[in-house]
């Protein structure tokens, strides 16, 4: 199974500042045939289902604010939240859909 | 609009059984690969079971293999997870999840809580 390791496990960021979350895959998840990285990012708030933020490592889902951005390729990926807002307090997960079983990182808790 | 609505969760004693259901609207569940993903208290997300879009392939996490069975009723547009020999460590919120044709999990139900306790 592909293991996704996120860092840090938690971080505290001031309002308006930047949050950076890393996700490292135990295997390359870049598919050479289409040059796409099979990685997504989700935001998860208590009492709600996870919300898709990013797919193909860097493509923002419709309706997601542009302060959220994804980058990276191969085995190393980053989710960046610019100008953190109070409503961004949540746990963030990376998710690989390259090969089954589809796996998630352990989550990173973002606090103010 | 795609909606997935889970039901069937509740309190069950260790060793007991439950069947979770996920009713779909705005989509034909049999057209997609579907998952059950759970979140135990204080833990992260774990895909415990999946069924292929043709229903000819299934996946189970090692922790539930032999105890859980995923299935679909196409006539009811419903996904199921039959859980037996439940353990306290199966306590979690269980989400029904649809896989986008390109791979990512794009729609999630609201989740149903399963509590295994004596």
pLDDT per residue as tens digits for the range A77-106: 999 999 999 999 999 999 999 998 899 999
Closest C-alpha to A23, from A110, A100, A95 = A95
Distance CA B79, CA B73 (A): 7
Residue by residue, DSSP assigns B5-58 as: EEE--EEE-TT--EEEEEEEESS-GGGS-EEEEEE-TT--EEEEEEE-TTS--E
Q: Is B92's pLDDT higher than 80?
A: yes
Question: pLDDT tens digits, residue range B6-49?
Answer: 999 999 999 999 999 999 999 999 999 999 999 999 999 999 99
Is there a contact between B104 and A55 if contact means CB atoms under 8 Å apart? yes
Identify the pLDDT of residue A87. 96
Instruction: Name the residue facing A50 among B45, B99, B102 (closest C-beta).
Output: B45
Q: Which of A101, A106, A107, A109 to mutate to test the interface with B (most CBs of B within 10 A)?
A: A101
Contact A101 B50 (CB under 8 A): yes
How high does pLDDT run on average in chain B? 95
Q: Residue B110's CB: how many other CB atoms inside 10 A? A: 14
Report how far residue B91's alpha carbon sits from residue B93's, in angstroms, rounded to the nearest whole number.
7
Q: Is the pLDDT of residue B100 over 80?
A: yes
- CA A89/CA B64 separation, integer angstroms: 32
> Which chain B residues have a beta carbon less than 8 Å from that of A55?
100, 102-104
Mean pLDDT confidence for A20-28: 97
Please give the pLDDT value at position B91: 98
The larger pLDDT score, comparing residue B59 to residue B53, is at B59
- Return the percentage of chain B with pLDDT > 70, whole number: 99
pLDDT bin (cut points 50, 70, 90) of residue A76 is: very high
> pLDDT at residue A29 above 90?
yes
- Residue B56 confidence class, pLDDT cut points 50, 70, 90: confident
Q: Which residues of chain B neighbour A96 with C-beta distances below 8 Å? A: none
Give the β-pairing of A103-104 and B105-108: unpaired
């Amino acid at each position: 199974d592909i293991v996704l390791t996120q860092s840090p496990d938690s971080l505290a960021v001031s309002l308006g500042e930047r949050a950076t979350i890393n996700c490292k895959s135990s295997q390359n998840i870049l598919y050479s045939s289409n040059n796409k990285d099979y990685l997504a990012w989700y935001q998860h708030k208590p009492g709600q289902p996870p919300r898709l933020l990013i797919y193909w490592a860097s493509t923002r889902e419709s309706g997601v604010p542009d302060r959220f951005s994804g980058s990276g390729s191969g085995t190393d990926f980053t989710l960046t939240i610019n100008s953190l807002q109070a409503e961004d307090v949540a746990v963030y997960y990376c998710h690989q859909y390259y090969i089954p079983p589809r796996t998630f990182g352990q989550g990173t808790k973002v606090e103010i | 609009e795609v909606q997935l609505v889970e039901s069937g969760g509740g309190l069950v004693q260790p060793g007991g059984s439950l069947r979770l259901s996920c009713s779909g609207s705005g989509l034909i569940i049999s057209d997609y690969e579907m998952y059950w993903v759970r979140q135990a208290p204080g833990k992260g997300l774990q895909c415990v079971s999946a069924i292929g879009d043709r229903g000819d392939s299934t996946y189970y996490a090692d922790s539930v293999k032999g105890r859980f069975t995923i299935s679909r009723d196409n006539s009811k547009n419903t996904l199921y997870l039959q859980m037996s020999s439940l353990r306290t460590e199966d306590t979690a919120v269980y989400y029904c999840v649809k896989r986008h044709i390109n791979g990512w999990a794009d729609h999630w139900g609201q989740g149903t809580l399963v509590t295994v306790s004596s």
